[in-house]
Amino acid sequence: MARVLLIEDDPAVQKGVSLALGRRGHDVEIAARGETGLLALERYRPDLVLLDLMLPQMSGLEVCRRIRESKQVPIIILSARGDEIDMVVGLEAGADDYITKPASGEIIEARMKAVLRRVAPSQDAHGAEPPVGVEHYAGLTVDRTTLVVTKNGAELTLAPSELKLLLFLTSTPGKVHSRQQLLEQVWEYAFYGDVRLVDACVMRLRAKIENHPRRPVYVQTVRGFGYRFGPVE
């Protein structure tokens, strides 16, 4: 069971999502506005946030950005706006996934489960324990035991998707992974995922770990294919 905060102003969607998730054993708290959603986040302490983009007064994008300033809680945008630009902007704001409404309870729960598995990436996608220890990469330190990442001694706040992506890439330094491979390994979306999830997450991760995100040293692009980590001396 997961504690889910649904920030959504449409009563019909509120009822439909809460009933669908409630039948599956999840506990759902509803907030109709961004401001009340942020207050509920502190009080309710959810495992996951479902967030509409088109909210009155404070937009869903602003809510997402404010959450990401200090919280690592997974965020899934649930929006009727299915245009590519809306999806990309939402992911760049810090969301872990993007679902276009209307969506069935089965789809929402499947995406929730995949995102929640990334919160505690103690195992790889095949159930094998990952390497344990502290790794150092020219100012960047990755502690696989505590899941703490630091840059020049300062701890970084990484969203679940950013952390699992970094853990996966650093487990195979120098190896090139396609976007589809990363989608399957990190997001666990073999069939219904969107590779733009990968690109948006890489951009956010670079903004946090790279000295010059436009000239990345750690997470490098292999043009026309995908990404690799380093090698970094």
| Structure-model confidence comparison of residues 194 and 207, the more confident one | 207
Share of residues in the chain with pLDDT > 70 (%): 89
Q: For strand 154-155 and strand 148-151, is the pairing parallel, antiparallel, or unpaired?
A: antiparallel
Rounded mean pLDDT, 16-37: 94
Check if the beta carbon of residue 174 is closer than 8 Å to that of residue 222.
Answer: no
Distance (Å) of CA 98 to CA 66, 122, 180: 18, 24, 17
Beta bridge partners of 229: 219
Gap between the Cα atoms of 156 and 150, Å rounded:
5
Tokens, residue 194: 């969107």
Check if the beta carbon of residue 189 is closer than 8 Å to that of residue 114.
Answer: yes
Q: Residue 28: what residue type?
A: V
Q: Determine the straight-line distance between the first and last CA of the chain, rounded to whole angstroms.
A: 43
Confidence of residue 195 (pLDDT cuts 50, 70, 90): confident
Q: What pLDDT is recorded for position 132?
A: 62
Condensed to tens digits (0 to 9), the pLDDT of residues 100-149 reads: 888 888 889 988 888 887 665 444 444 444 456 788 888 899 998 888 99
Rounded mean pLDDT, 167-182: 91
Q: What pLDDT is recorded for position 127?
A: 45
For 148-199, give the DSSP string.
Answer: EEEETTEEP---HHHHHHHHHHHTSTT--EEHHHHIIIII--SSS--THHHH
Condensed to tens digits (0 to 9), the pLDDT of residues 199-229 reads: 888 998 999 999 999 999 999 999 888 999 9
Q: What pLDDT is recorded for position 141?
A: 92
Check if the beta carbon of residue 84 is closer than 8 Å to that of residue 98.
Answer: no
Beta bridge partners of 4: 28, 48
Sequence-distant (≥ 6) Cβ neighbours of residue 52 within 8 angstroms: 7, 8, 9, 10, 13, 60, 77, 78, 79
